[in-house]
Amino acid sequence: MTEATICVVGASGLVGSNITKAALARGYTVRGTFRDVTDPTKAPYLLALPEGEHLELFSADMANPGAFDPLLENIDCVFIASLIPTYFGPAGKPAREMEDEQGYQEIVRPTLDGCLNILESAHGAGVKDVVICSSTSSTNPIPSVPNKNEVDHWSNEQEQYSVKKYTSAAKTVMEKAAIQFTADRDMRLSILLPTLMLGPAIIPEHANRGFMKSLANMVAGEPPSHQKIPNDSNSMIHVDDLANLFLAAYENPKAKGRYFGVYDSWPWQRIYAAIAELLPDAPMPEPLREPMIDATSFDFTRRDSLGVPLRDIPTILKDTISWLQATGQRLRIN
């Protein structure tokens, strides 16, 4: 148990809500923030968590400089889980259709400025420890390497711009700026790098997003998001394990820098084969006809130094599907 008080920025997100749950279970006092705490689809689920009497929720928008100033007073660590990927501009234009200037201004810069606004408030309040959620999309060097690690391997934002991956570039640019900001101010920064996050959700609307929604469709007997199995791989982690990695990065005073937030990577063909074992009657994508590529390979030395046991991919899929089956959760987005 601990007497520490932490702030979880983006507490209503998939990552932030699970950090909040894990922190409350360990005895932390938590200040959770998201843009509108009056939203009836979010706050009630957080406040209903075990030990929820130790949770306070506040409205704050990272786009507004100074918005976090009063919320970070007397905080031991701030967890920034609000930097979710942005795939569309404010007017709805897809990022992949933008030119560089628009891509930077509408996709990259909001993530960069939002992170720096929070860090400015944290520094002003005397917070020394920060943990940020980013993405493995910042760890893809050109040319690719057979076994990548978090220290040496970075994406090049200029190359990402050139292929219109502004959403991925936002993570690369943000991380570099956050590392420089905290180094200049003697703040301890850890960055977790996840990709696909699965497992039981705290807030039901999270079942409407990404591959979680695809699994929900398959549980309901409808086709998955993939029409054909991609000849590619995807890394994943259980959301509870990811939350424990976040807390371990704070609790270990020697932890600093980037850490992969994934269990492992599998080719999609193996992923769908595992799903078929769990859902034998579910519709499946068209099978892969060509030879299966090798999955992305990671050096997990740094991740494992945090000492967090992780569930394997079959268990991650089983837990997610069991939760979807038990709750009947299949919300639709209009």
Q: What is the pLDDT of residue 334?
A: 30
CATH number of the domain residue 60 falls in:
3.40.50.720
Tokens of 116: 């720096």
Residue 172 and residue 170: Cα distance in Å, rounded? 6
* Tally of structural domains, the chain: 1
Asked if residue 323 belongs to a domain, the reply is: no
Q: What is the pLDDT of residue 76?
A: 98
Residue 83 and residue 185: Cα distance in Å, rounded? 22
User: Are residues 291 and 138 in contact, defined by beta-carbon separation less than 8 angstroms?
Assistant: no
CB atoms within 10 A of CB 131: 25
**Which of 276-281's residues contact partners 24+ apart within 8 Å by CB, and which partners?**
278/317, 278/318, 278/321, 279/218, 279/219, 279/321, 281/221
Q: Which domain holds residue 136?
A: 5-198+235-265+296-310
Tokens of 237: 């982690």
Residue 323 and residue 306: Cα distance in Å, rounded? 28
Candidates 125, 130, 145; CA nearest to 68 is 125
User: Are residues 129 and 76 in contact, defined by beta-carbon separation less than 8 angstroms?
Assistant: yes
Name 182's Cβ contacts closer than 8 Å, sequence gap at least 6: 119, 130, 188, 189
Residue 106 and residue 85: Cα distance in Å, rounded? 12
Asked if residue 17 belongs to a domain, the reply is: yes
Residue 45 and residue 59: Cα distance in Å, rounded? 16
Asked if residue 225 belongs to a domain, the reply is: no
Residue 323 and residue 311: Cα distance in Å, rounded? 16
Asked if residue 52 belongs to a domain, the reply is: yes
Asked if residue 222 belongs to a domain, the reply is: no
The HSE-up count of residue 60 (CA atoms within 13 Å, CB side) is: 27
Asked if residue 324 belongs to a domain, the reply is: no
Asked if residue 253 belongs to a domain, the reply is: yes
Q: What is the pLDDT of residue 175?
A: 98
| Residue 221 to residues 94, 201, 284, 315, 321, Cα–Cα distance (Å) | 30, 20, 10, 21, 13
Q: What is the pLDDT of residue 3?
A: 81
Label the pairing between strands 77-80 and 5-9: parallel
CB atoms within 10 A of CB 138: 24
Residue 4 and residue 36: Cα distance in Å, rounded? 25
Q: What is the pLDDT of residue 1?
A: 57
Digitized pLDDT (tens) for each residue of the chain, 334 residues in all: 578 999 999 999 999 999 999 999 999 999 999 999 999 999 999 999 999 999 999 999 999 999 999 999 999 999 999 998 999 999 999 999 999 999 999 999 999 999 999 999 999 999 999 999 999 999 999 999 999 999 999 999 999 999 999 999 999 999 999 999 999 999 999 999 999 999 999 999 898 889 999 999 999 999 999 999 999 999 999 999 999 999 999 999 999 999 999 999 999 999 999 999 999 999 999 999 999 989 999 999 999 999 999 999 999 999 999 999 988 744 433 3
Name 288's Cβ contacts closer than 8 Å, sequence gap at least 6: 228, 229, 231, 268, 269
Asked if residue 331 belongs to a domain, the reply is: no
Residue 103 and residue 134: Cα distance in Å, rounded? 19
